[in-house]
Chains A and B, each alone.
Chain A
Amino acid sequence: MLKVRIIPCLDVEGGRVVKGVRFVDLVDAGDPVEQARVYDAAGADELCFLDITASHENRDTILDVVRRTAEQCFMPLTVGGGVRTIEDIRRLLLAGADKVSINTAAVKMPEFVAEAAEKFGSQCIVVSVDAKTAAPGRFEIFTHGGRAATGIDAIAWAKRMVDYGAGELLVTSMDRDGTQVGFDIPLTRAIADAVRVPVIASGGVGSLDHLVAGVRDAHASAVLAASIFHFGTFTIAEAKAHLRRAGIAVRVDAGSAIDGG
């Protein structure tokens, strides 16, 4: 049986891990490669690096972080933030990323997603759907880390991105990100039910019950969280045990017992 994935996300700026509260007031939380190794050993199902300063600054630091991580961690790695060109994707994949996550560039130029999927395969193209509630039951796409409104309906946009070749959608609530009050369930569920590809729920996790809700109520195939893991509020093992108690299938043999489990 396919297991629900738990994905710790490391926000990286200048080669260091940070986590913003609603994308401002950054607090340093360590070396990304070291963190990646810890998560690898702890049984995380995938890793995600989000290069949060990518839109503004030199991006080569993230390539070095990806390179060093890929040498040590034999698990899927997604990198997002500032992915704008085919060359950006190529460099990240060659450095050792397995998937790239595209947001702003997709909104500016949707054909970029189609071109990227054609060139590298849908399996490595994640489209980041960053949305806010515009009116009850209506969700709108935002770009630039939640700062820029677009007027685009999030559900229609999600479907279009899958038509263009996105292999997975990372759905982040810009209302919830950094608040620790839980995923935006209506938003995530509306998208997960509207597309055939897997959806990762993101933005707002503050408790383990939020992870359960992301799967059970929002129909996500994977749950992504940052603060609760790297500030040590909960471990990956605690998260998996909690999901399991809620009747959700998770992978528990990571890194140790090879036989069965």
Chain B
Amino acid sequence: MIVAIVDYGSGNLRSAAKAFERAVREAELAAEVRVTADPDDLDRAGHIVLPGVGAFADCRRGLEALPGMVEALRRNVIERGRPFLGICVGMQLLADIGREHGDHPGFGWIGGEVAALAPADPALKVPHMGWNELELIRSDHPLLGGIGSGAHAYFVHSFGFVCANPDHLLATVDYGGPVSAVIGRDNLVGTQFHPEKSQAVGLRLIGNFLAWRP
């Protein structure tokens, strides 16, 4: 099985790849982690990961700059139902619209918008940066197996995913009010935090994703 991590020039994928390789080893899976900019690799992949750091529109542009990549994502994730994990901005791109530096269309695969964090308490800094506790809403979701409410994950973001359908919210984090931490529907999941930077909790989530057969 190939685990495709889509490389469209957004940030450092080395640590993400290393974390997935570690999770593959620990779960004793026969999987190859492939960091790729080739849309054909998505057709061959059993699991697809879309990372993303930086601004919403920049990430969207970066993806569009790879000929056939957005189409390959749509074909494999939406039509073929391959398990998909979006990380940080890779998750935010699933929204209908992103409101960072103006309004920009997302994929519209999970209804909602990506809006600026605006914690009322001025002591709460933006970006929301560091370790915060997950509050599980759907603890029965396979992605969250073995992870309990109160587990810490590492966040770095200034914008958050506001789900149109509350059923798509799998976990939240409290930052001056609830903020989406994990979202999903069918074969799609996304984390606002960085599992590849979240030590044991992150490796567990990655392992759960790799074992997931939605």
Contacts and interface: CB of A to CB of B under 8 A. Distances in A.
Given A1-B133, A3-B152, A251-B131, A96 B12 contact: yes
Given A120-B54, A121-B11, A260-B150, A74 B129 contact: no
B199 A255 contact: yes
In the A-B complex, the 10 residue pairs with the smallest Cβ-Cβ separation, listed nearest first, are A121-B54, A259-B148, A260-B150, A260-B148, A93-B12, A251-B131, A123-B156, A198-B125, A2-B132, A3-B131
A158 to B, nearest CB: 13
A94 B22 CA distance: 18
B146 interface: yes
Interface of B: 11-12, 14-15, 18-19, 22, 53-55, 58, 123-133, 146-152, 154-158, 174-175, 194, 196-204
Given A1-B132, A74-B202, A197-B126, A259 B14 contact: no
B146, B158, B174, B202: which has the most chain A beta carbons within 10 Å? B158
A255 B155 CA distance: 17
Interface in A109-123: 120-123
B200 A121 contact: no
A12 B89 CA distance: 32
Q: Interface residue tally of chain A, by bracket?
A: 35 or more
A76 interface: yes
Main secondary structure of the interface of B (DSSP, over half): mixed
Interface of A: 1-5, 40, 45, 67, 70-71, 74-76, 93-98, 120-124, 167-168, 196-199, 219, 221-222, 251, 253-256, 258-261
A245 to B, nearest CB: 19
Contacts of B154: 75-76
Given A40-B199, A167-B127, A251 B147 contact: no
B90 to A, nearest CB: 13
A74 B22 contact: yes
B70 to A, nearest CB: 21
A4 B201 CA distance: 18
6 contacts: A70-B18, A76-B197, A93-B11, A123-B158, A221-B129, A251-B131
B211 to A, nearest CB: 15
B129 A168 contact: yes
Given A3-B152, A74-B22, A197-B126, A259 B199 contact: no
A259 B130 CA distance: 19
